[in-house]
Amino acid sequence: MQANYTFKTRRKTTNLVIEVLPHARRQMLHSKIKLEWSVCYVEDCVSVSRCFRCSGYNHRHTECRNEEACPICAGKHKMKDCTSPRTE
């Protein structure tokens, strides 16, 4: 078991993200564990990064090598320059 990082939610709860082996994950998933004086729920944590430049996944805009793409209409311009109506 390896602790990766912690983060706080808007409700002021602290979450601890740990990395475990697959068989340990299956045993712990959707159950409760006791840590010191607290009873904690166990859930999967999935985080996906998205590029603000090309709207692609699994990389950041600082690492982007793709062409710029508008997230609204997929055109080759910035979102602030988009003329498409936002309802489409």
Spans of all domains in the chain: 2-41, 48-78
**Cβ proximity of 56 and 49 under 8 Å:** no
d(CA 15, CA 49): 19
Within a 13 Å sphere around the CA of 60, how many CA atoms are in the beta-carbon half?
1
SS3 38: strand
For 29-79, how does the pLDDT look when each residue is reduced to its tens digit (9 = 90+)?
Answer: 888 888 889 888 888 888 788 888 888 888 888 888 888 888 888 888 888
d(CA 15, CA 9): 8
**Cβ proximity of 59 and 49 under 8 Å:** yes
Predicted TM-score (pTM) above 0.75 = no
